[in-house]
Chains A and B, each alone.
Chain A
Amino acid sequence: METSHARIVAIITFLTMILTSLGTINVVKAGTLDEIRARGHLICGVNVGLLGFADQKEGKWEGFDVDFCRAVAVAVFGEDERVEYLPLSAEERFDALRDGKVDLLSRNSTWTLSRETRYGLTFAGVSYYDGQGFMVPRSSNLLSSLELGGNNVCVLKGTTSEANLPDYFVENNMKYETVALSTSTEAVAAYENEECQVITSDMSQLYAWRLQLSEPSEQVILPDAISKEPLGPVVRQDDPAWATFVKWVLFALINAEEMGISSDTIGEALVSNKPAIRRFLGIEGELGSDLGTANDWTVQVIKIVGNYGEIFDRNLGDGSSLGIARGMNQLWNLGGILYAPPYR
């Protein structure tokens, strides 16, 4: 009896300690959303400069990742100007987020297990499905990367792209020769000088390289991705409410496109009698308030930043110099794999 009583006391003491410590954490660390509101702006970690994703033009940040920061700022404040962009190198990005230097990392980062566990981070979703691809001259008439056998392949030395090559070619019984180059400039020059008939890297990189060639329109980027590089916004694990917030900004952008709501059609959408659209725009229900912001936040986001498709087209797609095809990044019901849970 006495021992079991002591045990109960010990358990209660232990539970109290846990609860107290949790309470302390909560007191010391206010929610990220509240901190951002108190500060008056969002701090967003972006690439130091990557065409299409995050780039400074006349002192103004623009790009696919930058537009996501803007969308989050609009979701919080109703204004897209309230963002401080912090350019981060590949090495420092995850430390910067973990150490609280940024609220959000929107910097073409691949979602992997170790990046979540090692740094205590959470990927809020996938905003861009990238993967290793191949570029060939249009005149080669190749349609598939399974037809690449017997060619010289240019690749950057020491990259995962180089490591993936033997896996892919051996698995598919194709012969090839590697031409390994140290820098992007050398790789593009080697391809231009026909030292190789094929050049490989992440597809988004290939589209940027294509612009450096003398005849970009005479190059074809084959549709197959031979590796998975899902890029997405990242937050810290310590604030699940903030992770949820960021996640639903991304889902809202995708859902808006699926429902046909764009910055052009928002006026028409606001007078729609479809329940799903009325709910999405905050005309009915309290989904926005439940998320912790203005009930009609989605209206502002679509008006100011646009839906996923508009963001893609403007920065990476037909409306940009890159001309990246939607491919995997098309909606799930239009031949791609973009799929957002329902806004309800």
Chain B
Amino acid sequence: MTKATLAAACILILSFAIPSYGAQRKELDVPEQPGYVPTAEEEMLPAELRPQPVFFRTQEPPGTIIIHTAERFLYHVQGNDRAIRYGVGVGRIGFEWQGIHKISRKQEWPDWRPPPEMIERQPYLPRFMAGGPGNPLGARALYLGETIYRIHGTNQPKTIGYAMSSGCFRMINPDVISLYEKVPVGTRVIVRQTPKL
């Protein structure tokens, strides 16, 4: 598979989602909607998922990105025990991972190439979709090291706060655009999971 098809695999959406740690986020049943352009109202997330400064104590230097998969939050470390917190959508069950990577590449309005497995399941999907509004990868993509994982935008704001991707982290387009401007290539990204029983 090429890098592009792997990237596309990241946005696979199945018809289930695990409830969050707090168990307050319910199940979600949404197929991907290529071509769908979200309205500004849809991109008004619930208050707790919007970007906001929070208390965050860490040994990591300012600029680092820390993603708490179980919380569905991405923290951009600011120093002085503070971080800007964003709501994200995360990998569904079986697609969780953790580790430390550096942002290896940044891409505005990435193209989308659904992989063959996905086409097989959903033959109605386009074979290729150029980057732009309505593209499921959204407005920006931050590539994580040599992995197939990305932090990217989305054309489905209602998926923020849920676990349904294939390991990628999705943000609403205004948030990913804002983060994209703040983080250079080489930024450390730490992904954390819940402890294993």
Contacts and interface: CB of A to CB of B under 8 A. Distances in A.
A joins B in a complex: yes
Interface of A: 143-144, 216-217, 220, 222-225, 258-262, 264-265, 268-269, 272, 274, 277, 309-310, 313-314, 317-319, 323, 325, 327-328, 330, 334-337
Contacts of B68: 334
A268 B58 contact: no
Contact of B22 (A225, A317, A325, A330): A317
10 contacts: A260-B194, A260-B197, A261-B197, A318-B22, A319-B22, A319-B24, A325-B52, A327-B54, A335-B83, A337-B57
Contacts of B78: 143
A309 B57 contact: no
Contacts of A265: 197
Interface string B51-89: 011111110000000101001000100101111110000
Contacts of B56: 223, 327, 330, 335
A336 B57 contact: yes
A318 B24 contact: yes
Given A220-B52, A224-B82, A318-B48, A268 B197 contact: yes
Nearest to B196: A260
Contacts of A262: 21
A223 B55 contact: yes
Contacts of B80: 144
A321 to B, nearest CB: 11
Contacts of B197: 259-261, 265, 268-269, 272, 274, 277
Contacts of B55: 223-225, 325, 327-328, 335-336
A335 B196 contact: no
Contacts of A261: 197
A323 B48 contact: yes
B195 A258 contact: yes
Contacts of B84: 143
Q: With a 10 A CB-CB cut-off, give which of B53, B58, B68, B71 has the most chain A CB atoms.
A: B53
A260 B195 contact: yes
Interface in B79-110: 80-85
B57 A313 contact: no
**Looking at chain A's contact residues, is the secondary structure mostly helix, strand, loop, or mixed?**
loop
Contacts of A317: 22
Contacts of B195: 258-260
A327 B55 CA distance: 5
B1 interface: no
Nearest to A261: B197
Nearest to B85: A325
A332 B60 CA distance: 14
- Nearest 9 pairs of A and B residues by beta carbon: A313-B22, A260-B195, A327-B55, A217-B47, A319-B24, A223-B55, A335-B56, A143-B53, A272-B197
Contacts of A222: 53
A304 to B, nearest CB: 15
A335 B53 contact: no
A309 B22 contact: yes
A327 B194 CA distance: 18
Contacts of A272: 197
Q: With a 10 A CB-CB cut-off, give which of A216, A318, A335 has the most chain B CB atoms.
A: A335
A340 to B, nearest CB: 14
A216 B66 CA distance: 28
Interface in B10-34: 20-24
Contacts of B54: 223, 325, 327
Nearest to A327: B55
Contact of A144 (B48, B53, B58): B53
Nearest to B45: A217
B192 interface: yes
A309 B21 contact: yes
Contact of A325 (B24, B48, B57, B58): B48
Contact of B23 (A259, A319, A327, A337): A319
A313 B21 contact: yes
Q: With a 10 A CB-CB cut-off, give which of A224, A264, A334, A337 has the most chain B CB atoms.
A: A334
Interface string B150-191: 000000000000000000000000000000000000000000
Q: With a 10 A CB-CB cut-off, give which of B22, B56, B82, B197 has the most chain A CB atoms.
A: B197
